[in-house]
Amino acid sequence: MGKDAEISLNERNFVKEGLKNGFRLNGRSLDEMRRPIINIDKNEYGFVEVEFGKTKLAVRVSCEIVKPYEDRPFEGIFTISTEISPMASPMFENGKNSDDEVLISRFIEKAVSRSNALDLESLCIIAGEKVWHIRADVNYLSYDGGLIDATCIGVMTALQHFKKPDVTMKGTDIIVHDFDQRQPVPLIILHVPICITYSFFNPVDREENIKGDANLEIAIMDADRSEELVRDGFLVLTLNKNRELIQISKNGGLPIDGLALIELTQRAHDRCQELTEHIKALLQADEKERYKNMNLHLLEVGASR
Amino acid sequence: MSSLLSITRPTKRDSRSNDYDSDVDMKDAMSEYQDEGSKDNTSVVTPGELVTEDPTWMKGHGTYSLENQTYSSVAGNVLRLNRLLSVIPIRGRYEAETGDYIIGRITEVGQKRWKVDIGCKQDAILMLGSVNLPGGILRRKSESDELQMRNFLKEGDLLNAEVQSVYSNGQAALHTRSLRYGKLRNGVLLKVPSSLIIRQKNHSWNLPGNVSVIIGVNGFIWLSKTSSTSTAPSVNASTNSAQSALASKGGYKPGEGSVSITRLEEESSWEIYSDKNDEISASIRGTISRYHNVIKAMSACELGITEKRICMGYDASMMYADTSMLIEREAQEIICQDIIDSEKMRGD
Amino acid sequence: MSRLELYSPEGLRVDGRRWNELRRFDCKINTHPAFDGSSYVEQGNSKVICMVRGPMEPPMRSQVNQTQAVIEMNLNIASFSTLQRRKRSKNDKRMIEMKTTLERTFEQSVMSHLYPRTLIEVNVQVLAQDGAVLATMTNAITLALIDAGVAMYDYVSAVSVGIHDQTPLLDLNVLEENDMSCLTIGVVGKSEKLAMLLLEDKMPLDKLENALAVAIAGGHRIRDLMDDEVRSHGNQRVSKLTS
């Protein structure tokens, strides 16, 4: 990471010392996540803002019709762009992707695209000719740790919320219907992956960590900025509520006992379920609201008659 | 967890297992390895291996400890010196020690100092104040000297020097304040792993065939035409007489100048910083390249390098008329086997 | 999903191994004497060369760290290493991820604080890929670093494991890797501490413990095999160095 990524030794020790005694500077307990505030846009489909404490990001999902890849004629295309601009924090430099930024985009890609969260085959219009290209653009507005978790929630909420225009075929031509003409269709989401990041701290020497049996390493959920700068390693878990692990990424860092890691995955699963429910509830509320605003009473009356 | 499983052992390749089967077979004993009991199986320890549980040992280089246990951090031999326990890595970069006779290459000319690549972890420092400058040893280093540092030694120049001191961060400081040290000319540099060099009393020799060798402790070896004013002892005579010759001619004794100050003044002319090579005849060039290839063969076969072995290797290499044949792996092995055999014959 | 029978009812895999068997593991150290440390590792048909230079004076000022050594990995995957010839650029996201992972793994196990203001340059060359490339690379780097005499807390040995139906299969080859979820771990020494843990495809949460147990045991086995090579090489060297 670029400038401003450094944290004074004093502050570093303060954060560590606090963690050793089980306190976090932000007042949360060790495995407490910040409650995400998800704002779903009232007017458009597929625009979601997520606030994760002071971390803030906006996700916009859009679509267009393109020619599919030659080797996959039956599948649509899904891309996620996660470029972090210096707007989020001066530690991110413009145009220069640091290793951490690449890692973040890889994590999101593996969590969402690679796990087939979005059914790509349903995006096909004419095989080998025309498919939908769905793209999710993530804009980071403010950074205070937990980018991966927040991005994943944002992208998954936006995808579930997004609706693409309906198309009909007329011979070899296709007609894209306006939202006013026909009801737009939602995307087919096969499962909802949720990312949970744990940050590890070593309260003792490295000798103890490698040879000792005490396993004193501290794992905290959803680190904020200062904790992310101090941490000795981290683990990204992606799971869904069907008790499936989608990704585990512990890219080096502090060695952690295998059993401890298994315990973390179990705890992460509980958190994942909560979050999935939370997102679901929000989306349903939004759906209801929209339905009400569309004034379809007349149709309903007609249908019941 | 592991006791549940019996993972079958992938087969060993046979090329390596000739003489060292004994070590290979003890692999299962290794896992139950507890303390010094099974130590006599092997002298080599590997990273993460428990060396001792005795808390009275002081922990030296190549070890780390947790509570009472001391573990090795490198692959190497355990060295117990009084109460100090350290592990000497089998391979690894050269570590400078005060008094080492080394050869280096200038990498950077800086303010009042040169940086010298000596194959160490960090470049060594040669201060302007620790070299002989034209005009004699007692001369003060002036500002004009500082400005023309590049005229004395510039990037890429080779020199031999002595390690004056080693700073706490591992960086070495050199000096060339003796006539035996200074810029190198008329020869060729050869780099071998520093672990192959055996520290000896003397590191520069005149070899048969009018060739001189300087064996730097850092694994840099300089082969050159013997200069007419050389002070290095000849090895034509037997070792004993060579040693006495060395003593009489004023061999290496730390802190004791071998040359009188007056002579030093004479010789510390600009000539010692000259870049011009002398005339070297084709036959000497041939001899130098033969020595070069002999030493290369020894390094390829991981044989410790001493002046005596170089001479023996040189004799053994005579069966190849063409020096370029010596770089064949087969020839290299034959030469090294010859060296080992003739050493056995002499009984040392 | 596939027509291949990956695990027969008799308990044999496509290449005739049982579920808990490693592939042929072959390693050599000091293959390139011109480098400070080098190694060559074959895990099945995956072949990797690793060469280490350093600790040495960093060529660039930006690489100087006043408190510890900087470890720089250069990964190169030969375009002929897979069946389809494909050039992989160095800036490929996957390559950067692997590079970062390896750098951060070894930052923890190398005693880098002993070598302040130096650079340890690790060059990895993948010659053939037959599954578990990251694991093979990790093992090669461990050996090369040990060969270079760099102080390390312990070996890092890596191995992959997959889940087929209910059975964990150790050390997947490329056929198996394509058809099942694959977990790569890097285990530190003989402990159960994991320096590296990567899973990229779906795996049932409850299978994780089982898979990890198999993988850790496999990692320990590989550590032993690497240890043998280091020891036999060391003894060979010592016997020649008598003066």
Distance between CA atoms of B117 and C56, rounded to whole angstroms? 10
Chains near C with 3+ CB pairs less than 8 A apart are A, B
Residue span of the structural domain in which B271 resides: 91-184+235-275
User: Contact C197/A103, CB-based, under 8 Å?
Assistant: no
* Backbone dihedral region for residue A151 (phi beyond 0: left; psi -120 to 50: alpha; all else: beta): alpha
Rounded to the nearest 5°, which phi and psi values hold at A259? -65, -35
pLDDT at B236 over 60: no
Instruction: Answer for the pair C80, C145: CB distance below 8 angstroms, yes or no.
Output: no
Is B325 in the same domain as B347?
Answer: yes
User: Contact B47/C224, CB-based, under 8 Å?
Assistant: no
- CB atoms closer than 10 angstroms to residue B335: 27
Q: Is residue B5 part of a domain?
A: no
> Which residues have a Cβ under 8 Å from the Cβ of C24 and sit 6 or more positions away?
B10, B11, C42, C43, C44
Amino acid of residue C168:
P
Residue of B nearest to A208 (CA): B66
Which of C235, C238, C239, C242 should one mutate to test binding to chain B, selecting the residue with the greatest count of B CBs within 10 A? Answer: C235
Which residues in chain A are closer than 8 Å to C93, comparing Cβ atoms? Answer: 102, 105-106, 109
* Backbone dihedral region for residue A227 (phi beyond 0: left; psi -120 to 50: alpha; all else: beta): alpha
Is B74 in the same domain as B196?
Answer: no
* pLDDT at position C122: 96
Domain boundaries, chain A: 9-299
Average pLDDT score over residue span A261-290: 92
How do residues B21-55 score in pLDDT, each as one tens digit?
333 334 443 333 333 333 334 578 999 999 999 88
| Cβ-based interface (< 8 Å): residues of B facing A | 48, 64-66, 69, 71
Is B35 in the same domain as B174?
Answer: no
3-class state of residue C225 by DSSP:
helix
User: Contact B20/C236, CB-based, under 8 Å?
Assistant: yes
3-class state of residue A121 by DSSP:
helix
Contact of C89 with chain B, judged by CB distance below 8 Å, is answered with: no
* pLDDT at position B117: 93
* pLDDT at position C64: 86
* pLDDT at position B129: 86
Structure tokens at C77: 């995957």
Q: Distance (Å) from the C-alpha of residue C243 to the closest C-alpha of chain A?
A: 36
Distance between CA atoms of B97 and B118, rounded to whole angstroms? 12
Range with lowest mean pLDDT among A80-89, B138-147, C222-231: B138-147
Contact of C1 with chain A, judged by CB distance below 8 Å, is answered with: no
Instruction: Answer for the pair B116, B123: CB distance below 8 angstroms, yes or no.
Output: yes
Question: What number of residues does chain B have?
Answer: 348
DSSP assignment of B57-117 equals: SEE-TTEEEETTEEEE-SSEEEEEETTEEEEEESS------TT-EEEEEEEEE-SSEEEEE
* pLDDT at position B42: 52
Instruction: Answer for the pair B162, B174: CB distance below 8 angstroms, yes or no.
Output: yes
Listed residue (B267, B100, B72) closest to B178, CA to CA:
B267
Q: Is residue B27 part of a domain?
A: yes
CB pairs under 8 A between A and C: 127
Q: How many domains does chain B have?
A: 3
β-bridge partners, C123: C51, C74
Q: Is residue B165 part of a domain?
A: yes
Is B117 in the same domain as B167?
Answer: yes
Percent share of chain B, pLDDT over 70: 74
User: Contact B4/C213, CB-based, under 8 Å?
Assistant: yes
- CB atoms closer than 10 angstroms to residue B279: 7
Q: What is the CA radius of gyration of chain B?
A: 24
pTM recorded for the entire structure: 0.86
CB pairs under 8 A between B and C: 161
* pLDDT at position B41: 43
Which residues in chain C are closer than 8 Å to A114, comparing Cβ atoms? Answer: 200-201
Domain end residue (candidates: B40, B63, B89)? B89
* pLDDT at position B264: 52
pLDDT at B103 over 90: yes
The Cα angle at residue B336 between residues B334 and B341, in degrees rounded to 5? 95
Sign of CA dihedral B223, B226, B230, B236: positive
What's the pLDDT band for B91 if we cut at 50, 70, 90?
confident
Instruction: Answer for the pair A216, A203: CB distance below 8 angstroms, yes or no.
Output: yes
pLDDT at A162 over 70: yes
How do residues A166-189 score in pLDDT, each as one tens digit?
999 888 888 899 888 888 899 999
> Which residues have a Cβ under 8 Å from the Cβ of A139 and sit 6 or more positions away?
A57, A58, A59, A60, A85
Is B269 in the same domain as B175?
Answer: yes
Q: What is the CATH number of the domain that holds B140?
A: 2.40.50.140
DSSP designation for C68: S
* pLDDT at position B136: 63
* ipTM (interface pTM): 0.89
Which residues in chain A are closer than 8 Å to B53, comparing Cβ atoms? Answer: none
| Cβ-based interface (< 8 Å): residues of A facing B | 205, 207-208, 210-212
Q: ω into residue B233 within 30 of 0, thus cis?
A: no
Percent share of chain B, pLDDT over 90: 29
* pLDDT at position B257: 42
Of B48, B64, B66, the CB nearest to A212: B66
User: Contact A257/C200, CB-based, under 8 Å?
Assistant: no
pLDDT at C186 over 90: yes
Of A115, A207, A269, the CB nearest to C202: A115
> Which residues have a Cβ under 8 Å from the Cβ of C200 and sit 6 or more positions away?
A110, A114, A247, C181, C182
What CATH number was assigned to the domain covering residues C21-242? Answer: 3.30.230.70
Structure tokens at C186: 């890097």
Is B330 in the same domain as B258?
Answer: no
Sign of CA dihedral B86, B88, B89, B94: positive
Is B46 in the same domain as B33?
Answer: yes
Q: Which residues of C156-193 are buried (b: 16+ CB within 10 A; e: fewer)?
A: bbbbbbbbbeebbbbbbbbbbbebbbbbbbbbbbbbbb
Q: What is the CATH number of the domain that holds B68?
A: 2.40.50.100
Is B222 in the same domain as B317?
Answer: yes
> Which residues have a Cβ under 8 Å from the Cβ of B121 and sit 6 or more positions away?
B93, B95, B170, C54, C55, C56, C57, C115, C118
pLDDT at B97 over 60: yes
Is B54 in the same domain as B72?
Answer: yes
3-class state of residue B165 by DSSP:
strand
Is B103 in the same domain as B252?
Answer: yes
Average pLDDT score over residue span A62-86: 91
Listed residue (C32, C72, C64, C25) closest to C47, CA to CA:
C25
* pLDDT at position B138: 63
What CATH number was assigned to the domain covering residues A9-299? Answer: 3.30.230.70
Q: Distance (Å) from the C-alpha of residue C92 to the closest C-alpha of chain A?
A: 10
Q: Is residue B11 part of a domain?
A: no
Q: Is residue B8 part of a domain?
A: no
User: What are the C-alpha distances in Å from B206 to residues A68, A88, A115, B55, B313?
Assistant: 76, 69, 72, 49, 15
Residue of B nearest to A206 (CA): B66
The interface residues of chain C toward chain B in range 23-82, judged by CB-CB distance below 8 A, are 23-26, 30, 33, 36-37, 54-57
Structure tokens at A145: 């740790």
Residue of A nearest to C110 (CA): A206
Which residues in chain A are closer than 8 Å to B71, comparing Cβ atoms? Answer: 211
- CB atoms closer than 10 angstroms to residue B41: 15
Q: Is residue B69 part of a domain?
A: yes
Distance between CA atoms of B118 and B121, rounded to whole angstroms? 9
Instruction: Answer for the pair C37, C47: CB distance below 8 angstroms, yes or no.
Output: no
Is B96 in the same domain as B134?
Answer: yes
User: Contact B74/C116, CB-based, under 8 Å?
Assistant: no
Estimate the crossing angle of helix A147-161 against helix A258-293, to 10 degrees.
40
Q: Distance (Å) from the C-alpha of residue C9 to the closest C-alpha of chain B?
A: 20
Distance between CA atoms of A102 and A79, rounded to whole angstroms? 15
Of A243, A247, A251, the CB nearest to C200: A247
How do residues C83-132 score in pLDDT, each as one tens digit?
888 777 777 888 999 999 999 999 989 999 999 889 999 999 999 999 89
Residue of C nearest to A249 (CA): C198
Contact of C57 with chain A, judged by CB distance below 8 Å, is answered with: no
- CB atoms closer than 10 angstroms to residue B28: 9
Instruction: Answer for the pair B105, B156: CB distance below 8 angstroms, yes or no.
Output: yes
Is B122 in the same domain as B268?
Answer: yes
β-bridge partners, A60: A47, A137
What's the pLDDT band for A4 if we cut at 50, 70, 90?
low
pLDDT at B163 over 90: yes
Amino acid of residue A159:
L
How far is C-alpha A217 from the geometric centre of its chain's CA atoms? Answer: 27
Which residues in chain A are closer than 8 Å to B69, comparing Cβ atoms? Answer: 211
Which segment, A97-111, B9-23, B250-264, C130-144, is predicted with the most confidence on average? C130-144
How do residues B252-284 score in pLDDT, each as one tens digit?
444 444 444 455 555 556 677 888 888 889 999
* pLDDT at position C138: 96
How do residues C152-185 score in pLDDT, each as one tens digit?
999 999 999 999 888 899 999 998 888 888 999 9
* pLDDT at position B229: 59
Contact of C228 with chain A, judged by CB distance below 8 Å, is answered with: no
Contact of C149 with chain B, judged by CB distance below 8 Å, is answered with: yes
Distance between CA atoms of C189 and C156, rounded to whole angstroms? 6
Q: Distance (Å) from the C-alpha of residue A270 to the closest C-alpha of chain C?
A: 12
Instruction: Answer for the pair C155, C227: CB distance below 8 angstroms, yes or no.
Output: yes
Sign of CA dihedral A87, A91, A97, A99: negative
